[in-house]
Amino acid sequence: MANQQLFQTLLAKTVQTNATDAINRAGAPAYAMSPQHQLAQLAMTGCLNHTFYAAAETQLADVLQLALQVDDAFIAKTAVYSRERGLMKDMPALLTAMLAAKGSALLPTVFGRTMDTGKMLRNFVQIVRSGATGRKSLGSRPKKLVQTWLNTATEAQLLQAAVGNTPSLADVVKMVHPKPAEAWRATFFAWLIGKPHDAAQLPPLTRELCAFRAGESKVLPDVPFQLLTNTPLNAAQWAVLSERMGWHALRMNLNTLARQGAFSLPGVTKRVAARLADAAQVRKARVYPYQLLAAYRSAVDPVPLAVREALQDALDVSLVNVPKLEGNVVVCPDVSGSMGSPVTGWRQGATSAVRCIDVAGLVAAAILRSHPTARVLPFEQHVVDVRLNARDSVMTNADKLAAIGGGGTNCSAPLAKLVAERAKVDVVIVVSDNESWVDATRRGATQTMLQWDLLKLRNPHAKLVCIDLQPYSTTQAMERGDILNVGGFGDAVFDVIAQFASGSFGAGQWVEAIEATVL
């Protein structure tokens, strides 16, 4: 029988010492994180789109407010870390724009590392010109940095940057008036913005593109395929493009290839499937597992089965580095109603097909694959009974979990179940949006903290990892040595979990990693 005195003493102590200090977006008590941790979470997973609980404007306001509470060095390191390690796009551009608005001396260093593509450059210009960071003009130093980028980029980089609008590369050139030293570059800019130019002075790929567009050549130039689609292409030409596209572009354009008849030609299906499943190319592409899940979900019937199966193979490759955790592992994916929202938020015309619940299921299934004895406890208001086979594919188990969906959010439910069972645990992983409200308390600690401390009575060395898929600046489990709050859904999260569980990383992992970034 349980020691009632010990139980009551622990309960009172937890309520008093772990009192909440914030309210989450669902209106329930929660714990606030430090400004550094909040900024790190948002930078690694923020998407500046509408999510279930927060509008894009709210996320933007949060980032702007947090940036006032930390120094320029931390903003700079966060921008670099979120771009180079998190592979984020909007947040690094926003943080770089903030440094520009503040006139920070760190801007040139950060700009050189975050503006590594034309898309990032255009993101930066768009954010600055929007006035979101406090000014609508680029200013002399940012303008010079953009000029330098334009005057040093290769022809291939400039053509890649020419894909996209709002602003287009032509718009950027008109804004900053670069003065190139090379004749070919000056001619390229004149061609780009529609000014008179000597076509003979254009660089080779651009000349080939102009000839193809004018119908003077049937040879497809080796340029981004988006620049070629102003005129209809036949199935054979799309087949050629399927071999030239980058790995990510191929993953994202399978339906287009099917619609254009490329897969009807001999050998195309086999070649595309081989590229997608090639382990070396998957690793080089640094693809997130959820991106492969999105590609698989989006591929419609005209996409050959062999190609769709190749995406599953690629997913397994992307998860090959999921570490095996030691001891008794429990994974708790949130399957409540709010988890049905797109993981990167709603954005008109570009909403992801992948929901938070899909990613939660993916994380649980991936850990089950590498640790077959792990328990999976899906939860909403209560723990949901579901049976998974560790030998099934990650995609199959992720689909089973994602099919549950519905109900309110109760992050303490799986912990309470483990307490009731007197379970032995070493690592508990909760994958949620952290907006627990069903178990809201009137005062003192959250139910998540209460149940975790009770679970620790039998498992003093256990560790809790809370993966927040859409960080809103609060958590249900306060920061301390045995609890890690991490925002993210990239494959790097698995390494973080393993290092924390083994004791080689502290609870403030994101902040520690960012602080360690060398500028």
Q: Which residue has the higher pLDDT, 250 or 342?
A: 250
Which residue would you say has higher pLDDT here, 438 or 176?
176
Asked whether residue 280 carries a pLDDT value surpassing 70, the answer given is yes
Mean pLDDT for 266-288 is 92
Nearest CA among 370, 368, 391 for reference residue 378 = 368
8 Å CB contact between 371 and 324: yes
Q: How confident is the model at residue 82 (pLDDT cuts 50, 70, 90)?
A: confident
pLDDT by residue (tens digit) across 5-63?
444 555 545 544 576 656 667 677 666 677 887 787 777 655 544 443 344 566 677 77
Q: What pLDDT, on a 0 to 100 scale, did the predictor assign at position 17?
A: 57
Question: Measured between alpha carbons, how far is 80 from 103 in angstroms, rounded to an integer?
Answer: 17
Instruction: Using DSSP, state whether 484 is helix, strand or coil.
Output: strand
pLDDT cut 90: percent of the chain above it: 45
Q: Would you call the peptide bond into 167 cis, given omega within 30 degrees of 0 as the criterion?
A: yes
Query: How much is the mean pLDDT over the chain?
Result: 84
Q: Which two tokens stand for residue 173?
A: 């050139």
Q: Over 60: is that where the pLDDT of 459 sits? A: yes
User: And the tokens for 133?
Assistant: 């960071």
Q: Which of 81-85, 423-427, 438-442, 504-508 has the highest mean pLDDT?
A: 423-427
pLDDT at 348: 54
Q: What is the pLDDT of residue 54?
A: 45
pLDDT at 53: 37
Task: Report which DSSP code applies to 383.
Answer: B
Angle at 516 (CA atoms; ends 515, 517), nearest 5 degrees: 90
pLDDT of residue 329: 95
**pTM for this entry:** 0.76
pLDDT of residue 84: 87
CATH class held by domain 4-34+324-515: alpha beta
pLDDT, tens digit, 9 for 90 and up, residues 195-231: 999 999 999 999 999 999 988 888 899 999 889 877 7
Q: What local confidence, expressed as pLDDT, does residue 109 receive?
A: 96
pLDDT one-digit tens code per residue, 110-151: 999 999 999 999 999 999 998 888 878 888 999 999 999 999
List all residues 6 or more positions away from 168 whose beta carbon is below 8 Å from its beta carbon.
122, 162
Name the residue type at position 201.
Answer: Q
| Cα gap 189→159, rounded to integer Å | 11
Secondary structure percentages of the chain, helix, strand, coil, to 5: 50, 10, 40
> In this prediction, what percent of the chain has a pLDDT beyond 70?
85
What is the C-alpha to C-alpha distance for residues 243 and 262, in angstroms, rounded to an integer?
11
**For the chain, which residues make up each domain, given as ranges?**
4-34+324-515, 88-218, 235-318
CB 20 within 8 A of CB 32: no
**pLDDT value at position 445?**
79
Q: What is the pLDDT of residues 22-34, one digit of tens each?
A: 666 767 766 667 7
| Residue written as token pair 């977006």 | 25
Band (pLDDT 50/70/90 cuts) for residue 488 is low
CA torsion angle 193 195 198 203 (round to 10): -10
Report the distance separating Cα 24 and Cα 440, nearest Å. Answer: 10
Q: Are 498 and 486 in contact (CB under 8 A)?
A: no
At 349 the pLDDT is: 52
- The pLDDT assigned to 88 comes to 78
- Residue 343 CA to residue 353 CA, distance in Å, equals 9
Indicate if the pLDDT at residue 2 is higher than 50. Answer: no
Q: Is the pLDDT of residue 472 over 80?
A: no
Question: What is the mean predicted confidence (pLDDT) over 243-260?
Answer: 93
